[in-house]
Amino acid sequence: MQTAPSSARAVLTRLADRARSMNLRTEFSGDPRRANKFSFEAVDIAFDFSKHLIDEEILGALVALADESNLRGRTEEMFSGQKINITENRAVLHTALRAPKNAEIFVDGENVVPGVHQVLDQMSAFANRVRSGEWRGHTGKAIKNVVNIGIGGSDLGPVMAYEALRFFSRRDMTFRFVSNIDATDFAEATLDLNPEETIFIVSSKTFTTLETLTNAHSAREWLIEALQDESAVSKHFVAVSTNAEEVAKFGIDTANMFGFWDWVGGRYSMESAIGLSTMLAIGPENFREMLAGFHEMDEHFRTAPWRQNIPALMGLLGVWYSQFLGAETCAVLPYEQFLKRFPAYLQQLTMESNGKRVHLDGTVVDHQTGAIYWGEPGTNGQHSFYQLLHQGTKLIPCDFIAFAKPLHPLGQHHDYLIANVIAQSEALAFGKTAEEVRAEGVKENLIPHRTFPGNRPSSTFLLEQLTPRNLGKLVAMYEHSVFTQGVIWNIDSFDQWGVELGKVLAKRIIGELESGAAPAHDASTNALIQKYRVWKQQP
Ligand code: G6Q
């Protein structure tokens, strides 16, 4: 079941040449309706994709590709709980985490929705107790500090959401996130915290992850050393996991454990109990608003025709640039300081999902798949890497994300910010010709340096304001665009075998570092191990 023979694919391969030499100036001047044709508003997001290297025929072929790939059918399979993560034989049901209470979604004959809402209620009750000061630490003090310990999907979502929604968070509480096994992460995060007022959330789906367990044990020691009582753990540790047995072994009362399910992938889990730190920060009501935003986007993706479907079009454009035009990266450029961790979050979502080189049946893919996602909030990037976007040699489609209303209105700041994001997409698309540069009186020898070729594609997403609901929509939008690409490429977007090998090898090397026995690897690896041992011992 390699990639099905596809006429749309053949058409797109042919049309790619046209796109490569497309002139967006001519496209816009030749069709006064172009901006209108390739932009629309849905779920309160204004989506402008008119500055892409597409025309009606290309878009038609991309939509045909979605149909030929059975995107509609595969979407229904995902939403209805079929085991589409075939290499792990699991359903993929992050959409159930934000389904309304009366929805019915079955996995192995069981409706999973009541369980989702039960955990949400348990989280809300806990969050209210902590936020109101009713939950007391071991010495009777209210909790002021929350430290989430987790890594990968059990960290990136919570950090991103906390930073994104900080405006809505309890400013009298401190939230920290520890992920790296590098002790500096834990030491710095706890340096100025009073253990009596600190609660740790150990977030780990499996509860076996080396980094998280190591950090959790260090946290336990830090607490017990300060409070001089092992029983303090029960008031200062809660767990988010699917593994009750390991949670109990660690010494956390399973009454203080918040569960989720194997049909929630790590990088698709920020709105499950993994989002407990988010809920503690912004409160249960705002958290539910965020879920409502996710759900709104789910419904949009599930029901809107592809031509009016934001995530599907984003996914199709991603396929267009990666597979047909050879682009290797995609820049995500939020013009909103609160979204500073959004690109890092998307890196895992996109790259762990679609960084795959084989089809579902194991045959090798013969074209580019998932792009490298990267980015920084505007306007900072403009003073650094945008140079390459404007005048470099690479094709890099950009996603510009902006909000009409600032959360911190201050003088002219917001107009300046928005002027910049609009100017960037304009400059990338239309550039500046040699004639225009010459007309400015620039010396002949400098004209090539000061010319901007243009025809550099971008999408612009404009929303009213960054709110919990809009954050939910944005995350779901990227989730479904990733899914769209995965369906078209016929790959498993929901496994992550690529992270396994390094873990296994590290375990073996840990033993060798500790034992001092001769390492048995290749010459390079052996030499690195030996050098480390020597330098570690040096006074
Ligand atoms: C995400 C991955 C991975 C996972 C971490 C943490 O999709 O599966 O990033 O989230 O390895 O795993 P645990 O939550 O099991 O500790």
Question: Is 414 annotated in the active site?
Answer: no
Choosing from 101, 225, 245, 383, the catalytic residue is 383
Torsional sign, CA 372, 428, 433, 321: positive
Q: State the closest ligand 1 atom to the C-alpha of 212, by its place in the atom list counted from 1.
A: 16
**C-alpha–C-alpha distance, residues 253 and 244, integer Å:** 9
What is the side-by-side order of every strand in the sheet holding 329-335?
39-42, 45-48, 458-463, 398-403, 329-335, 372-374
Strand pairing report for 237-241 and 257-259? parallel
Alpha helices, DSSP H only, in 144-209?
A: 156-164, 183-190
CA of 368 to the centre of ligand 1 (A): 25
Helix or strand run (H / E) with residue 262: none
CA of 345 to the centre of ligand 1 (A): 13
Contact 74, 487 (CB under 8 A): yes
Bridge partners of residue 178, in order along the sequence: 149
* Token pair in block for residue 526: 């052996």
In the block, which residue shows the tokens 């191990």?
Answer: 529
Nearest CA to ligand 1 atom 5: 152
pLDDT tens, residue order, the chain (539 aa): 445 557 999 999 999 999 999 999 999 999 999 999 999 999 999 999 999 999 999 999 999 999 999 999 999 999 999 999 999 999 999 999 999 999 999 999 999 999 999 999 999 999 999 999 999 999 999 999 999 999 999 999 999 999 999 999 999 999 999 999 999 999 999 999 999 999 999 999 999 999 999 999 999 999 999 999 999 999 999 999 999 999 999 999 999 999 999 999 999 999 999 999 999 999 999 999 999 999 999 999 999 999 999 999 999 999 999 999 999 999 999 999 999 999 999 999 999 999 999 999 999 999 999 999 999 999 999 999 999 999 999 999 999 999 999 999 999 999 999 999 999 999 999 999 999 999 999 999 999 999 999 999 999 999 999 999 999 999 999 999 999 999 999 999 999 999 989 888 888 999 899 888 899 999 999 999 999 999 998 98
Q: Is 184 exposed, middle or buried (0-12, 13-18, 19+ CB in 10 A)?
A: exposed
Contact 5, 68 (CB under 8 A): no
Contact 458, 51 (CB under 8 A): yes
Contact 213, 237 (CB under 8 A): no
Q: State the closest ligand 1 atom to the C-alpha of 152, by its place in the atom list counted from 1.
A: 9
Range list of β-strands (E), 256-381: 257-259, 329-335, 372-374
**C-alpha–C-alpha distance, residues 293 and 104, integer Å:** 19
Q: State the closest ligand 1 atom to the C-alpha of 203, by its place in the atom list counted from 1.
A: 14
Question: Is 359 annotated in the active site?
Answer: no
User: What residue type is assigned to position 288 of the chain?
Assistant: R
Question: Is 503 annotated in the active site?
Answer: yes
Alpha helices, DSSP H only, in 38-182?
A: 56-68, 71-79, 113-132, 156-164
CA of 393 to the centre of ligand 1 (A): 36
Choosing from 405, 503, 507, 531, the catalytic residue is 503
Q: State the closest ligand 1 atom to the C-alpha of 268, by its place in the atom list counted from 1.
A: 7
CA of 496 to the centre of ligand 1 (A): 9
Phi, psi angles (nearest 5°) of residue 137 = -75, 180
**C-alpha–C-alpha distance, residues 456 and 229, integer Å:** 62
Contact 269, 160 (CB under 8 A): no
Residue of 201, 206, 351, 500 with the most ligand 1 atoms within 8 Å of its CB, for mutation: 206
Nearest CA to ligand 1 atom 9: 152
Bridge partners of residue 238, in order along the sequence: 201
Residue of 160, 356, 499, 504 with the most ligand 1 atoms within 8 Å of its CB, for mutation: 499
The per-residue pLDDT for 1 is: 45
The per-residue pLDDT for 517 is: 87
**C-alpha–C-alpha distance, residues 359 and 377, integer Å:** 34
Nearest CA to ligand 1 atom 1: 266
Contact 204, 240 (CB under 8 A): yes
Choosing from 211, 352, 376, 479, the catalytic residue is 352
Q: How many CB atoms lie within 10 A of CB 524?
A: 8
**C-alpha–C-alpha distance, residues 289 and 466, integer Å:** 12
Nearest CA to ligand 1 atom 13: 204
Cis peptide bond upstream of 379, omega within 30:
yes
Rounded to 5°, angle at Cα 26 from 24 and 31: 100
Residue of 180, 267, 274, 501 with the most ligand 1 atoms within 8 Å of its CB, for mutation: 267
Strand pairing report for 110-111 and 106-107? antiparallel
CA of 483 to the centre of ligand 1 (A): 19
Q: How many CB atoms lie within 10 A of CB 507?
A: 10
CA of 208 to the centre of ligand 1 (A): 10
Q: State the closest ligand 1 atom to the C-alpha of 209, by its place in the atom list counted from 1.
A: 16
Contact 298, 476 (CB under 8 A): yes
**Which protein residues touch ligand 1 with a CB less than 6 Å away?**
151-154, 204-206, 209, 212, 265-267, 352, 496
Q: State the closest ligand 1 atom to the C-alpha of 265, by its place in the atom list counted from 1.
A: 7
**C-alpha–C-alpha distance, residues 414 and 336, integer Å:** 10
CA of 509 to the centre of ligand 1 (A): 22
**C-alpha–C-alpha distance, residues 87 and 81, integer Å:** 16
Strand pairing report for 39-42 and 458-463? unpaired
Nearest CA to ligand 1 atom 8: 266
Classify residue 162 by its DSSP letter: H
**C-alpha–C-alpha distance, residues 217 and 452, integer Å:** 55
CA of 269 to the centre of ligand 1 (A): 9
Classify residue 149 by its DSSP letter: E
User: Euclidean distance between the first and final Cα of the chain, in Å?
Assistant: 60
The per-residue pLDDT for 5 is: 54
In the block, which residue shows the tokens 């996602």?
Answer: 373
